[in-house]
Amino acid sequence: MERVDVAIVGGGPAGACAAERAAAHGAETVLFEQGVPREDRDGLGPDSTDAAGMLDYWIDIMDFDIREIPDDVVLRELEATEFIGPSTSVELTTTGIDANYSKFGYTFHRARMDDWLHERATDAGADLRVGTGVKDLETDLRASSPNGPTHTLTLSNGDQLEAQYVVLADGPQRRVTLGALDQFTAPGRSVSDYLSPPEANHIAYQEYREFPDELFEDDRLKFWWGYMPGETAYPWVFPNDGTVARVGLTMPIGMELEDVDDPSAYKLLRPDDEKLPSGSEYIRRLLELEYGDEYDIETDIPVVEERGKSNGTETYPISSTQPIDSPVGANIAVAGGAMGATSAFHEGGYHVAVRTGKIAGRLAATDSLENYNDVWKRAIGDEILRNVSFADIVADYEPADWDWAFDVVNDMQGNDQTAANDLITRGYSAGLDATKIMLAYKKRKFGYRDGGYVQLPENEYFY
């Protein structure tokens, strides 16, 4: 049987970065990626899991210098983001977080970024086997290895491979992760109880659309909040190259029209709806609402069919749960979307996937994986804490609540564009409504202190 030091399941950003770091630190490393075809990639590669936007400080979280990233990966440098409510909107030109990158952020070509990470892993000496999936993983907790438990991976072609360490990075679909971790859960419990409840996960859908020159806004992201029902459900527009933009949305899995208290409050729902619209119908309604008075949507803002995963469209899952710890005592690390470290609230998690993958690969290669849960919390804990706290605050927001929140931000900033990003540090001087938001945020952060945002801690695994 073939044997390696580190085996990695999944070739997205977490897996590719784990492979690069493990190989760079001298470990014999193999990565398995089942692979999917895309219109914008020559061969097979990892599935797409976000709308491919990057904020300024996320580059620092990834632990990259912007000068490292190839020019053809970055599509548009951004100056702002616009949040649009049912009757008010707010523009932010800074994230309010210190960053080395001078712009607000950028949009990027997801497949090219993934391919670049693969090249880095290959150049470091990792063996990338794209087109070969993993069907099963079994752990021998009583292995005679001096470094503890070992693992047997059964591949899609029937072959088997033994590894000392495993990094699970198979994204929010977790085809291998759930079964692999269930080896270490209490009887009657499954890791899917933590990572796969329908009410806490989302489906995203996007289309590549060619906009007329006069409509194309090339320096900003746009989000519509309170237009469609569901926790962290919203449409967006991300500018790409030329005048092509990705128009997409995030919505909860399994939500029904009967679950909506007041359908008439949402601009993208109609009185004659018998069920919630599909992703494509939501997008058509959004474009009609915004531009339909002057433009024929399908003629003037057409789908660009040679882009994306298939015919100019993409559908993909987004994990919206809180993260889990890894069973490091079994020589396993879980990284990126597979561990629930991404979020539908801030639209994806490419940056945390990259960083957790880097940490997992380095520690596995240096026989230090027992430190993984502590190290990833130090690296991305503040980001996770912000996201889960704000997601809790807005979980039950309805359209009027979004208008209220955006009015608060507009009142705060006045002529000072940066003031809205300084809510927490300004404290009570920001005004009564702003103070309400601040206190709610601080209360939730306190409840998640000391890593309390982890929903499955390490000490609940059984070895």
Handedness of CA 37, 41, 43, 49 (dihedral sign): negative
The DSSP string of 218-277 is TTEEEEE-SSS-STT-EEEEEE-STTEEEEEEEEETT--GGG-S-GGG-TT--TT-SSPP
Residue 157, token pair as written in the block = 């072609």
pLDDT value of position 126: 98
Residue 463 DSSP label: -
The DSSP string of 139-167 is EETT---TT--EEEEEETTS-EEEEEEEE
The DSSP string of 19-80 is HHHHHHTT--EEEEE--B--TT-SS-BPPP-S--EEEHHHHHHHT--GGGS-TTTEEEEE-E
- Cβ-Cβ contacts under 8 Å for 368 (sequence gap 6 or more): none
- Cβ-Cβ contacts under 8 Å for 84 (sequence gap 6 or more): 222, 223, 224, 225, 227
Residue 459 DSSP label: G
Q: Where are the domains of the chain?
A: 2-197+318-384, 212-315, 389-447
- pLDDT over threshold 60, residue 347: no
Task: Specify the CATH number for 2-197+318-384; select among 3.40.630.30, 1.20.1530.20, 3.40.30.10, 3.50.50.60.
Answer: 3.50.50.60
Which range is least confidently modeled, 50-54, 121-125, 267-271, 369-373? 50-54
pLDDT value of position 426: 47
The DSSP string of 407-431 is HHHHHHHTT-TTGGGGHHHHGGGG-
Q: How confident is the model at residue 434 (pLDDT cuts 50, 70, 90)?
A: confident
**Is the model more confident about 411 or about 181?**
181
Residue 301, token pair as written in the block = 């803002």
Which range is least confidently modeled, 31-40, 45-54, 446-455? 45-54
Would you say 352 and 342 are in contact if contact means Cβ atoms under 8 Å apart? yes
Average pLDDT over residues 144-149: 91
Three-state secondary-structure class, residue 389: helix
Average pLDDT over residues 34-63: 87
Tens-place pLDDT, residues 100-146: 999 999 999 999 999 999 999 999 999 999 999 999 999 999 988 89
H/E element, 295: none
Looking up tokens 């938001």 gives 437
- Percent of the chain with pLDDT strictly greater than 90: 73
What is the CA 72 to chain-centroid distance, rounded?
Answer: 22
Looking up tokens 């290895």 gives 145
Residue 14, token pair as written in the block = 């977490």
pLDDT value of position 344: 59
**Is the model more confident about 191 or about 419?**
191
Q: How confident is the model at residue 30 (pLDDT cuts 50, 70, 90)?
A: very high
Give me the residues paired with residue 92 across strands: 81
- pLDDT over threshold 50, residue 272: yes
C-alpha 390/C-alpha 266 separation (Å) is 22
C-alpha 194/C-alpha 339 separation (Å) is 10
- pLDDT over threshold 80, residue 386: yes
Rg of the chain in Å (alpha carbons): 22
C-alpha 221/C-alpha 219 separation (Å) is 7
For the chain, the farthest-separated pair of C-alpha atoms sits apart, in whole angstroms, at: 72
C-alpha 267/C-alpha 395 separation (Å) is 19
Tens-place pLDDT, residues 169-189: 999 889 999 999 999 998 888
pLDDT value of position 419: 47
